[in-house]
Amino acid sequence: MNSVRKAAQKPALAHEHATYNALIVPARLTQPVRIETVDTGTAALQKLVAGNIESMTGADWHVYLNDGANRMPPNVRAEVLIREAGVYLEDAFNGTAVFLGHGSAVRN
């Protein structure tokens, strides 16, 4: 499976500022993995990942990460999820990861 990892100025979703259910995977093992409804606007994603965002896209998912995360703790849980999806990783993943599927926006 090919994947794309790139710096992102905007999320790769059709509707900026839509809300989606996301799997939030913190790098620190003492912090729980959780599902949250998140705003997919750039500012909201930057807040979640604590900096500028980069993205990786698989067949049916996106993951957003901090583009300067090499200063952050490694995220072994996010790496396992991505490898289980069949993606070969050359780089380590660091910092919080925000996973989104290709689904519909959450309706309020």
Give the pLDDT confidence of 54-69 residue by residue, as tens digits.
988 888 888 999 888 6
Q: Check: CB of residue 96 under 8 Å from CB of residue 23.
A: no
Strands of the sheet with 19-25, listed across from one edge: 4-7, 53-57, 61-66, 97-101, 19-25, 34-39
Mean pLDDT score of the chain:
81
Assigned token pair, 98: 């925000």
Residue 85: band (very low, low, confident or very high) from pLDDT cuts 50, 70, 90: confident
How do residues 91-105 score in pLDDT, each as one tens digit? Answer: 778 899 999 986 655
Q: Rounded to two decimals, what is the model's pTM?
A: 0.79
